[in-house]
Chains A and B, each alone.
Chain A
C-alpha cells in the first residue's frame, strides 16, 4: 500500500470513528428516547 492509500484509509476511518463516537456520546448524554 502506498502513502496515499494509507492517507485515504486512515482519513476515512478517522472521520467515521470520530462521527460514530460523537453521535453515541451525544445519544448517551441525552435523555433516553422511548419508542
Chain B
C-alpha cells in the first residue's frame, strides 16, 4: 500500500492526460502499455528485489545496498544518487503539495470560485505564489508550514504507525474522491447548449480517438516511456527503501505488480476521465488543446477551478479535487523522505526520531530557496536534476548493477524468492537487454534534447542566471555532503556491519 501511495501522485491526474492528448490520443496507449510491460514492470521487480536483498543486511538506502550487491568500494557513491534525488524532489514537491492544501481551503471558503475567467484565475495563482506585483507569500508560507509539519509528523510516527497508516486510509479516500469527481465529469452531458458539440462524449473522443500516424514518431514512444517511468516512481530510491523492510519470504513479484496496477487504475481510468474531457466540454477542442498546451499545473490550478465554478455544488467538487491531489501528493512526499532517513538511521545507528529531526531541519532550510525564488526558475532547475535526470540515471545504474554485475541468474532467483507467481522466461531477455537499452536511449535522447540546452542555460533570462547557477552549486555541494556522510558511515560503522545470517527483520522497529 505504501509503494502504491508513493507511485500515485499528481502526475497521474495532471501529466498523463496531457501526454495522451498531445501524443495521439488512444494510439498513445500502444507505446504506453508496451513501455509498461518492458520498462515499468521489470524496473518495479528489480527495485523491490534489490531493496529486500539490502534489507536482509540491515540496509535501507541505496549506497549501502549497492555496496552489498558487489564488492567495489565505489558502488556506494553511485548509490548516493538514490538518496540525493528523492531529497531534491522533496524540497520542491512539499511546497507544491502545500498549494493543493491552500486551494482546498479556498474551495470551501468560496474564495477560489469567485474567479470566472482564465486571466483572473491565473492572477490569483500568481498572487498566491508571491509572483504578482504587490503580492506576498504569507498565506502560501502558512500552508507550507502546515504541509511540511504534517509530513514530518507522519515520518516521526514511523513506517507502520505513520506511512502505512496514512496510505491505508488516504489511498481509499483518494480513489473514492477520484471516482466521485470522474462520475461528475462523465455526467456533464452538454453543459453549454449553445455549443452542442462541446459535450462529454466528444471530450472522451478528444482524449481517446487514436491518431495512428503518431506511431512512427519516436518522440511519442519516448513520451510514453517517460510517462511510465515517472508515474511508477521507479528510479527514485523510495521503493528500494520500502522494500528493505520486507521479510525474505515476502512476494516482491506480486507486491510490485499490485502497486503498478493500482497506480495504473488511478492514472488511466481516473486521470484519463477528468481533466481533458471536462476541459473539452467547457472550452471546446481549441480551448482544451490550449489548456493542455499550457501545462499540467495550469490544468490543475487554473482550468479545473474555472470548470468547477460552472457546475452546481462546484465548491464541493473543487474541494474533492484538491483534497485528492493533496492526498496523492503527501503519500508520495513521505516516501521521498524515507531513503535519507533510512541512511541516517541505519548507517549512523541513530533512533528514528533523531534521524527524522536531522532530516526535518536540513530539508526545511533547503526548501526556502524553492519557496522564495520560485519566480527565478529554482524549482524548474531542481525538477530537472532531481526529478528527471537522476531518476533515469539511477534506474539505469541499478538495472545494470543487479542484472549484469550481481548476475542474471542470481537476480532471477532473488526476484522469485517467496513469489507465488512465476515471471515468464522471456522477461530474462527483456531485463537483460531491452530495459537497459531503453533506459540508455531515454537518457541519451534527454541529454541531447534537454540536458545540453539546460547546461548551457538556454532560455534563461540574465536576471535569473545567478539563481540558477547558485542552485547548481548548491546541488553539487549537497551531493558531495551526502557522499561524505556515506564515506564517514562506511568507515566508522564497517566493523559493525551485519552479515546476512544475524539480521532480524528491519520492519520490526521501523
- B322: chain A residues at CB < 8 Å are none
5 residue pairs from A and B, CB less than 8 Å apart = A5-B26, A12-B272, A20-B261, A20-B264, A33-B255
Interchain CB contact (< 8 A) of B254 among A4, A6, A27, A35: A27
Most buried by A among B164, B261, B269: B261
- Give, as a whole number of angstroms, the nearest-CB distance from B365 to chain A: 31
Interface string of A2-35 (1 = CB under 8 A from B): 1011111101110111011011101100100111
- Using a CB–CB cutoff of 8 Å, the interface residues on chain A facing chain B are 1-2, 4-9, 11-13, 15-17, 19-20, 22-24, 26-27, 30, 33-35
Q: Are B26 and A9 in contact (CB under 8 A)?
A: yes
Give the contact stretch, choosing among B100-108, B119-127, B202-210, B325-333.
B202-210
B378 contacts chain A at the CB level, 8 A cutoff: no
Report the bound CA distance from A34 to B160 in whole Å.
Answer: 9
Q: Are A33 and B250 in contact (CB under 8 A)?
A: yes
Report the bound CA distance from A20 to B254 in whole Å.
Answer: 11
Which residues of chain B in 312-349 are interfacial with respect to chain A, using CB atoms and an 8 Å cutoff? none
B257 contacts chain A at the CB level, 8 A cutoff: yes
Q: Are B254 and A13 in contact (CB under 8 A)?
A: no
Q: Are B261 and A19 in contact (CB under 8 A)?
A: yes
Q: A19: nearest residue on chain B (CB-CB)?
A: B261
Q: Are A26 and B421 in contact (CB under 8 A)?
A: yes
Interface string of B4-38 (1 = CB under 8 A from A): 00000000000000000000011101000100000
Interchain CB contact (< 8 A) of A17 among B29, B207, B265: B265
- A6: chain B residues at CB < 8 Å are 208
Q: How big is the B interface, by class?
A: 35 or more
Q: B211: nearest residue on chain A (CB-CB)?
A: A4
Report the bound CA distance from A5 to B254 in whole Å.
Answer: 31
Q: Are B33 and A35 in contact (CB under 8 A)?
A: no
Q: Are B205 and A1 in contact (CB under 8 A)?
A: yes
Interchain CB contact (< 8 A) of A33 among B204, B246, B261: B246
Interchain CB contact (< 8 A) of A5 among B164, B204, B268: B204
- Give, as a whole number of angstroms, the nearest-CB distance from A20 to chain B: 4
Q: A26: nearest residue on chain B (CB-CB)?
A: B254
- B33: chain A residues at CB < 8 Å are 12, 15
- A26: chain B residues at CB < 8 Å are 254, 258, 420-421
- A17: chain B residues at CB < 8 Å are 265, 269
- B257: chain A residues at CB < 8 Å are 19, 23
- Give, as a whole number of angstroms, the nearest-CB distance from B232 to chain A: 13
- A12: chain B residues at CB < 8 Å are 26, 29, 33, 268, 272
Q: Identify 7 new A-B residue pairs, CB closer than 8 A, beyond the known A8-B25, A9-B204.
A: A4-B26, A8-B27, A9-B272, A16-B264, A16-B265, A35-B159, A35-B510
B201 contacts chain A at the CB level, 8 A cutoff: yes
SS class of chain A's interface: helix, strand, loop or mixed? Answer: helix
B471 contacts chain A at the CB level, 8 A cutoff: no
Report the bound CA distance from A23 to B25 in whole Å.
Answer: 27
- B27: chain A residues at CB < 8 Å are 8
Q: Are B208 and A9 in contact (CB under 8 A)?
A: yes
- A19: chain B residues at CB < 8 Å are 257, 261, 264
Report the bound CA distance from A33 to B507 in whole Å.
Answer: 11
Report the bound CA distance from A19 to B44 in whole Å.
Answer: 15
Report the bound CA distance from A8 to B208 in whole Å.
Answer: 7
- Give, as a whole number of angstroms, the nearest-CB distance from A29 to chain B: 9
B247 contacts chain A at the CB level, 8 A cutoff: yes
Q: A10: nearest residue on chain B (CB-CB)?
A: B208
Interchain CB contact (< 8 A) of B268 among A16, A22, A27, A33: A16
- Give, as a whole number of angstroms, the nearest-CB distance from A22 to chain B: 8
7 shortest A-B CB distances, which residue pairs? Answer: A8-B26, A1-B205, A23-B258, A5-B209, A5-B208, A9-B208, A20-B261
Q: Are B262 and A20 in contact (CB under 8 A)?
A: yes
- Give, as a whole number of angstroms, the nearest-CB distance from B447 to chain A: 31
- A23: chain B residues at CB < 8 Å are 254, 257-258, 261-262
Interchain CB contact (< 8 A) of B164 among A1, A16, A35: A35
Q: Are A35 and B208 in contact (CB under 8 A)?
A: no
B251 contacts chain A at the CB level, 8 A cutoff: yes
Interface string of B165-204 (1 = CB under 8 A from A): 0000000000000000000000000000000000001101
**Known interface pairs A5-B26, A35-B160, A35-B245; A30-B251 also in contact (CB < 8 Å):** yes
Interchain CB contact (< 8 A) of B205 among A2, A15, A27, A35: A2
- Give, as a whole number of angstroms, the nearest-CB distance from A7 to chain B: 8
- A34: chain B residues at CB < 8 Å are 247, 507
- Give, as a whole number of angstroms, the nearest-CB distance from B147 to chain A: 25
Q: Are B254 and A30 in contact (CB under 8 A)?
A: yes
Q: Are B209 and A1 in contact (CB under 8 A)?
A: yes
